[in-house]
Amino acid sequence: MSPAADDPRPPVRLEAMDHDNDGRKYSPSAGRNRQDIVDALAEELSPAGDLLEVAAGTGEHAVLAAERLPSWTWWPTDRDPDALTSLRAWASQARLPNLREPTHLDIQGSWPLEGRCLDVVFASNVLHISPIETAEALFAGAVRHLRPGGSLIVYGAFFLPDVDPVASNVQFDEELRASDPRFGVRELSDLTERALARQLLTPTIRPMPSHNYLLRFATRI
Ligand SMILES: C[S@@+](CC[C@H](N)C(=O)[O-])C[C@H]1O[C@@H](n2cnc3c(N)ncnc32)[C@H](O)[C@@H]1O
């Protein structure tokens, strides 16, 4: 799937969210990208397994994915109390047996996984909106908790070597850095270098709509 050059959808921004009285939040960007992300995951994932979603946000991705992939057990987490409230509201409304109770996990903290061995760690739209130390912690945590041959899958906007950055992502990067100088659209080459240093493999790259990518960093077998 290639991003259309004239795709009118903006990248994920610092955004205002609607919410229901039951606590479910709606992220405009998740509303736009969740179908594409879940379609891509359905093609990327093996028939069954355990997936930890970090920085899961509202819960819209988790519910759609757990519906679409019933043989995958989905463990949604976030560090933000408001996100956890929304995640729990979406999960309790969806009542999906394979969607586990959302729990607190700070990527930069200890990962309270009680020895669980994961097939996939998934992170959507977090690396640009957090310091680079979060990427380091994500790679380290994934390597600690993935089974051999498991994958860290990361979705978002990235600058790729030898690909001219589109104006919308350059502007997005500037907005992020203005909001916090530690944030910004990440260079894939820098992420790959950090991942390799943690014994992950060079990622596969799947182009997604609106100039986003799905990166898959496998662990060694
Ligand atoms: C832009 S939102 C993305 C949410 C969702 N994954 C999506 O794609 O719509 C970024 C999320 O990252 C979470 N986050 C940021 N830093 C984090 C960290 N160190 N550990 C866990 N979650 C974090 C925030 O709480 C927020 O829910």
What is the distance in A from the centroid of ligand 1 to the CA of 56?
Answer: 6
Look at the chain and report how many structural domains it folds into.
1
Q: Which of 106, 63, 70 is nearest to 88 (CA)?
A: 63
- Give the pLDDT band (50/70/90) at residue 15: low
Instruction: For residue 56, give the CATH number of its domain.
Output: 3.40.50.150
Decide whether any atom of ligand 1 lies within 6 Å of the 151 Cβ.
no
Q: Render pLDDT for 40-64 as a digit per residue (tens, 0 to 9).
A: 999 999 999 999 999 999 999 999 9
Assigned domain for 205 exists: yes
Residue nearest to atom 2 of ligand 1 (CA): 57
Mean pLDDT, the chain, whole residue set: 92
Assigned domain for 2 exists: no
What range does the domain containing 44 cover?
Answer: 19-218
What is the distance in A from the centroid of ligand 1 to the CA of 51?
Answer: 16
Assigned domain for 4 exists: no
- Give the pLDDT band (50/70/90) at residue 16: low
Q: Which of 55, 99, 102, 100 is nearest to 79 (CA)?
A: 55
Q: What is the pTM of this model?
A: 0.93
**Res 2 pLDDT > 50:** no
Question: Encoding tokens for residue 85?
Answer: 């409230």
pLDDT confidence of residue 150: 98
Q: Is residue 100 classed as helix, strand or coil in its secondary structure?
A: coil
Interior CA angle at 200 toward 63 and 112, to 5°? 50
The closest-lying atom of ligand 1 relative to the alpha carbon of residue 134 is 19
Q: Which of 55, 57, 67 is nearest to 17 (CA)?
A: 57
pLDDT confidence of residue 9: 43
Q: If you average pLDDT over residues 137-153, what whole number do you get?
A: 97
What is the distance in A from the centroid of ligand 1 to the CA of 106?
Answer: 9
**Res 8 pLDDT > 80:** no
pLDDT confidence of residue 71: 98
- Give the pLDDT band (50/70/90) at residue 10: very low
Decide whether any atom of ligand 1 lies within 6 Å of the 134 Cβ.
yes
Sign, CA dihedral 185-79-82-29, equals positive
- Give the pLDDT band (50/70/90) at residue 18: confident
Decide whether any atom of ligand 1 lies within 6 Å of the 106 Cβ.
yes
Q: If you average pLDDT over residues 142-166, what whole number do you get?
A: 97
Assigned domain for 132 exists: yes
Decide whether any atom of ligand 1 lies within 6 Å of the 65 Cβ.
no
Q: Render pLDDT for 78-135 as a digit per residue (tens, 0 to 9).
A: 999 999 999 999 999 999 999 999 999 999 999 999 888 999 999 999 999 999 999 9
Q: Render pLDDT for 20-40 as a digit per residue (tens, 0 to 9).
A: 778 999 999 999 999 999 999
pLDDT confidence of residue 114: 84
Q: How many residues does the chain have?
A: 221
pLDDT confidence of residue 20: 73
What is the distance in A from the centroid of ligand 1 to the CA of 78?
Answer: 6
What is the distance in A from the centroid of ligand 1 to the CA of 107?
Answer: 9
Residue nearest to atom 23 of ligand 1 (CA): 55
- Give the pLDDT band (50/70/90) at residue 169: very high
Assigned domain for 8 exists: no
Assigned domain for 105 exists: yes
Assigned domain for 11 exists: no
What is the distance in A from the centroid of ligand 1 to the CA of 68?
Answer: 22
What DSSP character marks residue 83? H
Interior CA angle at 125 toward 221 and 137, to 5°? 50
Assigned domain for 175 exists: yes
